[in-house]
Amino acid sequence: MTGTGSTTAGPPSHGVPDQEAARRWRLVLGRYAAERLDVPAGDQRLESTLGYLYDREYTARGHAAGRREAGRRGGGGSGGAGLEGSAPHGVDFSALGWLGEARSLFPRETFERMQVEAVGRYGLTELLGDRGTVEAMEPSRELATALLQLRGKLDPSVADGVRRVIERVVEDVVRRLRSRFLTAVGGRVDRSRRSMHRVARNFDWKRTLRANLGRVDGDGRMLVQDVRFNARQKRALTWDVVVLVDQSGSMAASLLYSAVCAGILSGLPGIDVRLVLFDTNVVDMSHLAHDPVSVLLTAQLGGGTDIARAVRFAEGQVRDPSRTVVALVSDFYEGGSVSELLAAVRRLRASGVTLLGLAALDETADPVYDQGTARRLAEAGMEVAALTPERFAEWLGEVLA
């Protein structure tokens, strides 16, 4: 602030915190701040790498690189000193070179986000055309869902790259989830035997109390040294698990995890999985339930939603109602008849089918959904929740035990 009350537009020159703030603002604003904020020598690679991707935002909004708008700052000059290009320090990136540079400069979480924005927001799909580059990408749920949403718009030449990215993401998710499903859903509790699997689901509190009764001190506190767990047995009878998955665009992440969960369940003994995708049509994908990648590459995200039609289809798949679970994965924004949907749910519930409505089946379990329809489904007999895949495995284990 000067003595006349005017403000200065340049970066503050006093104190390390102000210098750091100016540095960060320069990286955020990019080359359009070049006249007011300099790039520190140590930030030139960061500036170039960020600019290669995010200067596309300015271009998309009509800002021209290399010149100023006529009449700006100084009363109408026709050009003057222009703005710098997207690689202002002589770095001439290709999309493939940019990927390697970004990986080397930024933390993993930041790099993953930049990948998603490069492909999903700014259309750098050439990253998917080279096998080596695809292998160098960091597989993430966000990248896979972005590709699923874009898949119908991508050039066929990158189809192999899209498949490989989704394969790597699915492999990673399966690796994390398989043991949880094996533990939770792999069999029923056998209370006659002790278990070697020391997990919370198998904890036997009654036996643990009895085993430690002799270790109670004068204040009534028990010193627990012998913790008991129940074993689990294989099921003698088969359960039918029907998974209905909404293909609307907002359900991309839930579709990914639904396909993976169905794939894991299809490999467990005593469970017969029916996997059904729906929009206004119903597509039975049960023959591919064991192959989540093929399911995901077949799915068509977007379009309308007829949940009632999908639930009526599930009715036709029921063989033994008392041993059937129908899991509906949807945001519950019904484009068809809500009354028909509720009627079908009531019929299934009255017959003895166990019903679960999942507003989200993903790692955040933080859905956007039609709360009115969800409430009416709950009143009709469907348990409604938003679950992580791990919690879904636990819920199934409780039902199938």
pLDDT single digits (tens) 354-399: 999 999 999 998 899 999 999 999 999 999 999 999 999 999 999 9
Instruction: Classify burial at 364, counting beta carbons within 10 Å of its beta carbon; exposed 0-12, middle 13-18, buried 19 or more.
Output: exposed
This prediction's pTM: 0.69
Question: How many alpha carbons fall within 13 Å on the CB side of residue 295?
Answer: 30
pLDDT at 194 over 70: no
**Domain coordinates in residue numbering, the chain:** 14-62+87-93, 111-183, 188-233, 239-400
pLDDT single digits (tens) 308-347: 999 999 999 999 999 999 999 999 999 999 999 999 999 9
Distances, alpha carbon 75 to alpha carbons 8, 69, 72, 78, 79, in Å: 20, 11, 6, 10, 11
Give the span between the Cα atoms of 232 and 236, in whole angstroms: 12
pLDDT at 57 over 90: no
Distances, alpha carbon 345 to alpha carbons 137, 199, 255, 338, in Å: 43, 35, 22, 11
Which pLDDT score, from 0 to 100, does residue 147 have? Answer: 86
At residue 75 the predicted structure's pLDDT band, cuts being 50, 70 and 90, is: very low
Which pLDDT score, from 0 to 100, does residue 281 have? Answer: 94
Give the span between the Cα atoms of 270 and 262, in whole angstroms: 14
pLDDT at 254 over 50: yes
Give the span between the Cα atoms of 253 and 265, in whole angstroms: 18
Q: What CATH number matches the domain at 239-400, 3.40.50.300, 2.170.120.12, 3.40.50.410, 3.40.50.2300?
A: 3.40.50.410
Is the Cβ–Cβ distance between 154 and 129 less than 8 Å?
Answer: no
Is the Cβ–Cβ distance between 229 and 202 less than 8 Å?
Answer: yes
Report the alpha-carbon angle 184-189-194, nearest 5: 105
Strand order in the sheet with 354-361: 282-284, 271-278, 239-246, 324-329, 354-361, 383-387
